Every structure is written in structure tokens, then in C-alpha cells.
């Protein structure tokens, strides 16, 4: 019986494999998102020199981000707070609409779909949030929390099917299925994050967006949750978009890394390459600032100044004000991602000109 099932299943997986090499699971093309700071139309009106003028200000959260995510990989997006990494995650999930740009999931453009059209994709892509204290509904039991996505995405399932599935996912994340009647507040932070992961896994997604899933947890618990995410990836062949600021986690978990600064991607590389040979000056500074256990006082690349405000973006390369290698061209011309010999993509004039 099972042998027969295997022979039937084999050709379909072969087809999927050939497709996988051809097309990335998720394509982000020139994504931009700005948030208005000026309120509604009447708030924007100002008197200036006796005339009524309309004054608008925007936070430029993402400025032209393009990323491909291949099936089965864990793409990590790193950067400091305010660099737009969470906005990328939320835009991909359709939680906020992009200002411009395209998002293609498995070949279909999804950023313009309405919520009804998006529903089948929501089942295939799920999200895990940073704060497990805020992401679980305090008035629902764990059983209800986990049943909700199943009832939404499998309206035809009967009660038994739903409870069986809930039991299975609770088991797979190491939460005792007997605890289903408890509420979120009765669990510790690590357990809550496991429940949040269980909720994401309940509908058997193929793609998971995890926005700082372990940042709110203690060190010993971080390892548990990270192990769980890696196990789930192996068992369920998941693809991750993993947002984090913790470079040690990236080095351990990611297949590829995209480094973001002030709403733009400055470097994309495989994890091993990025940590062995960071190209972009910002990546170099970022890597040098991780506190390491081994060496006593490592060479720390000091950046002058602080991250500029995303309201008034710097001209040219967004990093030029803090970059030790910046010249006139960097102040005027925005660098674009360019592929290097080993496949790393770097957006830096200095790297392009061979000055670095």
C-alpha cells in the first residue's frame, strides 16, 4: 500500500523539483513603502506666506528592495532598528500594502489581491511575530487559538479532524496537548512562542515569515525555539524569511543573508560568504560590532554618527554620511546591487570601483 503511494508520489515531486530550480518561491521587485506623517488632507494644509499650501511628510521605510527567496532556504534579513526589515516582512504577508513595487508568490502577483483572493495564499504563507505576549489572544484558550486558522482554511473539516490536527501540531512543538484548555497567560514566554509557532504550522504552510521570533526570549530559551524552527524546516520542507538583528543567529540559521540599511538592501550573500568576506562597508562594521566570547578586544570598526532619519533620506548612497570610504560619487549617485564573482550582490560604489 505504502509502496504504491510512493510510486505515485515520486513523479509529482520530480516535477516540483524541476520547477523549484526554475523559479523562486517568492520574488520581491523594487518594493517601496512610505508612511505618511502628516495626517489627513485638512491636517496637511498650512498657511505659508499668505497662501494655503499642502505640506506632506513621509517616512521612507523601504526604498526599492528586490529579493528572491528560493524554495527550502532560510533567507535572513538583518539590520538595525528602523532599517525597514519588519516592513518588508509585513508587506510580503499583505499586512500592509506597498506604495509601489511587486510581490510574486510562486509565479503569481499577490500584492494587488483583495483579502478574499489572498486567502489561498495566506494558507500557504504564515507569520510568527516577535512578542509572544502580544500575538496570542488573551481571551482565547490555546485550543481555540490553534483551531481558528484550521476552521478558516479548512471549512469542510469536521470536529474530529480539527482536534486531531491541533493535537498533532501541539505535539510537534513540544506543548502537552492536554494543556489546550489553558489560556496564553498561563504559559512562559518560550512556551507562548512555541504556541505561536504551532499556530503558524497548523495549516501546513510552505513559507513562514518570522519577524524577530526569538528576540524577546531568554538565552537558554532562544536555543530551544531556534532548534524547533530548524526541526520544522527539515520535517516540513519549509522556506523561511527570517527577520532578525542578531547576527549570531543568522550565522547559525540562515542559508542566505540580506543586509539592510535605511530601507535599502546593501548586500546579499550566502551566509558563509558574508561572514567570511563581508564586502559592503556597513556589513563589515556590523559584523565587527558583535560581542564575541573568544578574543578579548577585537578590532571594532567605528562608524561615525548615527543612522539618519528615514524622513529626509540622504542623497546618493544612504550610507555615505557614515562610510569611511565615501567620495563625491557616493553623495550623488544611488548605488545598485551588482553581482560579484562568487554570486554575492553588493550595492557600493567603492566595491564596484575596486577602491575597497
Q: Which stretches of the chain bind other proteins, using CB under 8 A?
A: 80-81, 188, 190-191, 218-224, 226-227, 230-231, 245, 247-249, 251-253, 271-272, 285-286, 288-293, 296-298, 300, 302-303, 306-307
The smaller minimum CB distance to other proteins, of residues 110 and 175, is found at 175
Phi, psi for residue 267 in degrees, rounded to 5:
-160, 135
Closest approach, Cβ 219 to other proteins, in A, equals: 6
Closest approach, Cβ 220 to other proteins, in A, equals: 4
Query: CA 269 → CA 67, 84, 103, 278, 321, distances in Å?
Result: 11, 19, 21, 9, 24
The owner of cell 532548534 is 227
The smaller minimum CB distance to other proteins, of residues 204 and 251, is found at 251
The smaller minimum CB distance to other proteins, of residues 166 and 208, is found at 208
239-244 vs 264-270, strand pairing mode: unpaired
For 194-233, b where at least 16 C-beta lie within 10 A, e where not — what string? bbbbbbbbbbebbbbbbbbbbebbeeebbebbbebbeebb
The smaller minimum CB distance to other proteins, of residues 27 and 224, is found at 224
Closest approach, Cβ 1 to other proteins, in A, equals: 33
Please give the angle made by the CA atoms of 271, 275 and 281, to the nearest 5 degrees: 115
Other residues' Cβ atoms within 10 Å of the Cβ of residue 286:
22
The smaller minimum CB distance to other proteins, of residues 78 and 103, is found at 78
The smaller minimum CB distance to other proteins, of residues 196 and 285, is found at 285
Closest CA to 94 of 131, 64, 55, 126: 126
Closest approach, Cβ 131 to other proteins, in A, equals: 14
Closest approach, Cβ 97 to other proteins, in A, equals: 28
256-261 vs 74-78, strand pairing mode: parallel
Closest approach, Cβ 115 to other proteins, in A, equals: 35
Strand ranges in the chain using DSSP code E only, listed in sequence order:
26-36, 45-48, 51-54, 58-69, 74-78, 100-105, 108-109, 125-128, 207-211, 239-244, 256-261, 264-270, 338-339, 345-346
Closest approach, Cβ 254 to other proteins, in A, equals: 8
The smaller minimum CB distance to other proteins, of residues 96 and 230, is found at 230
The smaller minimum CB distance to other proteins, of residues 166 and 210, is found at 210
Helix (H/G/I), strand (E/B), else coil: 183: strand
Whether the Cβ atoms of residue 209 and residue 125 lie closer than 8 Å to each other: yes
Closest approach, Cβ 303 to other proteins, in A, equals: 6
Amino acid at each position: 500500500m505504502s509502496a504504491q503511494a510512493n510510486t505515485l508520489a515520486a513523479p509529482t515531486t520530480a516535477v516540483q523539483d524541476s520547477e523549484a530550480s526554475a523559479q523562486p518561491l517568492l520574488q520581491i521587485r523594487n518594493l517601496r513603502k512610505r508612511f505618511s506623517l502628516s495626517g489627513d488632507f485638512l491636517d496637511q494644509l498650512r498657511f505659508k506666506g499668505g497662501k494655503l499650501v499642502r505640506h506632506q511628510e513621509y517616512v521612507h521605510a523601504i526604498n526599492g528592495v528586490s529579493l528572491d527567496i528560493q524554495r527550502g532556504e532560510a533567507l535572513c534579513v538583518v539590520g538595525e532598528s528602523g532599517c525597514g526589515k519588519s516592513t518588508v516582512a509585513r508587506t510580503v504577508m499583505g499586512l500592509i500594502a506597498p506604495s509601489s513595487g511587486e510581490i510574486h508568490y510562486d509565479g503569481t502577483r499577490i500584492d494587488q489581491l483583495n483579502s478574499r483572493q489572498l486567502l489561498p495564499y495566506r494558507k500557504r504563507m504564515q507569520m510568527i511575530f516577535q512578542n509572544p505576549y502580544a500575538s496570542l489572544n488573551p481571551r482565547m484558550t490555546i485550543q481555540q487559538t490553534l483551531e481558528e486558522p484550521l476552521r478558516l482554511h479548512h471549512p469542510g473539516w469536521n470536529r474530529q479532524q480539527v482536534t486531531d490536527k491541533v493535537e498533532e501540531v501541539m505535539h510537534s512543538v513540544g506543548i502537552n496537548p492536554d494543556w489546550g484548555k489553558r489560556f496564553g497567560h498561563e504559559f512562559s514566554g518560550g512556551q507562548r512562542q512555541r504556541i505561536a509557532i504551532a499556530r503558524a504550522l497548523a495549516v501546513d504552510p510552505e513559507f513562514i515569515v518570522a519577524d524577530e521570533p526569538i528576540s524577546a526570549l531568554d538565552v537558554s530559551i532562544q536555543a530551544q525555539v531556534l532548534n524547533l524552527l530548524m526541526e520544522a524546516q527539515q520535517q516540513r520542507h519549509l522556506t523561511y524569511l527570517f527577520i532578525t538583528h542578531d547576527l549570531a543567529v543568522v550565522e547559525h540559521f540562515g542559508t542566505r543573508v540580506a543586509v539592510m540599511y535605511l530601507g535599502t538592501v546593501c548586500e546579499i550573500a550566502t551566509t558563509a560568504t558574508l561572514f567570511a568576506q563581508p564586502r559592503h562597508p556597513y556589513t563589515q562594521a556590523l559584523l565587527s560590532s558583535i560581542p564575541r566570547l573568544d578574543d578579548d578586544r577585537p578590532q571594532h570598526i567605528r562608524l561615525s554618527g548615527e543612522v539618519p532619519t528615514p524622513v529626509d533620506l540622504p542623497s546618493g548612497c544612504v550610507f555615505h554620511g557614515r562610510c569611511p570610504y565615501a567620495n563625491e560619487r557616493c553623495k550623488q549617485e544611488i548605488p545598485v546591487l551588482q553581482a560579484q564573482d562568487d554570486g554575492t550582490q553588493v550595492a557600493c560604489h567603492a566595491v564596484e570601483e575596486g577602491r575597497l
